[in-house]
Each structure stands twice: as C-alpha cells, then as structure tokens.
Amino acid sequence: MQQTAKTLLVCLFIAALMGSVACSKKNPPPAALDTNAELQNADLGAGEFRSPADIDPALAAIFKNILFNYDEFSLTPQARAILDGIAGWLKNNPAKLVLIEGHCDERGTNEYNLALGDRRANSAKTYLTQLGIDGARIYTISYGEERPLDPGHSEAAWVKNRRGEFKIK
C-alpha cells in the first residue's frame, strides 16, 4: 500500500509540474535597445539610420539582407558575397555609418533569440572589419524575433526572418 501511495504522489507531482510548464507564457520581450549598450551609448549626431532603398533605390541591390541557417550565426558564402559588396560601398563612402540588425525566426525564447540576433549582427560586423572597414562605423542591434519580415509560421517564413538587415546613415 505504501508503494502505491508513493507512486500516486510522484505521478501527481509530475502532472502538476507538467501542467505548470504547459500553461506558462513567454515573457514579454525586453526592449531591443535595452540590450544593446553600443547603440544606446553611441553619439551618432543628428538624423537616424534609414533603409538603403529609402535613400537611393540603387542601394537596395548592394544592401541586401543576409540569411542565416537555423540556430546559427556563421556566415554563408552568399552572405559573404553580399558583405563583400557592402564593404566596397563603405570604402567608397567613408563618411557613412552602417547599422546591422540581427533577426531570428519565432522559435526559441525571447532571450535566446535576442542573443542569437546579436551574434548574427556581430558576425557580419566582424567580417566587415576583416575587410578593412573601421569598426567604429558599424553599429549592431538585435531585435530577436520581434520584427519578422514574414509573419507566417512555416519554414518558408522562418527562412526570411533569420536575417541580418542593414540601415545606413
């Protein structure tokens, strides 16, 4: 009888634990700027970073989004090719600054995705500095999963959302 009571108590405990986990909600995301002291503390002067296409439609062909594989922040060959073009433009426009936004798909916790987005943006920054761009001209921020390009809930949408996006000033 004691063994049956112990087994019943263990089963009730496990059921209660599973119920509390299943009913938990995602915590609201912290504000993206709160996670990026580099951008918060930067003295960027007047004006804001803007989408390259809003400045000159021809820039959209240079500043294309770079895409990342699931749960990774390493640069693909395609991402390196895009970054090579961006580096060339930055070398020819030495007064310009660039902001690299790191984004993720909706899978994972808010905290994990903010950290992954940060690693993605910084991997692009590191590559650009290795190509000779002054790191002081490159700012990064992570938005995690909070600014999806495609609001869908499929692999096709997630591929678009795992990206590095560029703004210039």
CATH of the domain at 46: 3.30.1330.60
Count the domains in the chain.
1
- Evaluate whether residue 63 is within a structural domain: yes
Domain extent for 68:
28-168
Question: pTM above the 0.85 mark?
Answer: no
What confidence score (pLDDT) does residue 75 get? 97
pLDDT value at residue 27: 41
Q: Is residue 50 part of a domain?
A: yes
Query: What's residue 161's pLDDT?
Result: 95
DSSP assignment string, 32-101: GGGG-HHHHT----SS--B-HHHH-GGGGGTSPPEE--TT--SPPHHHHHHHHHHHHHHHH-TT--EEEE
pLDDT digits (tens, 9 = 90+) for 30-57: 444 444 444 444 444 445 999 999 999 9
Instruction: Give the chain's mean pLDDT.
Output: 81
Parallel, antiparallel, or unpaired for β 98-103 and 163-168?
antiparallel
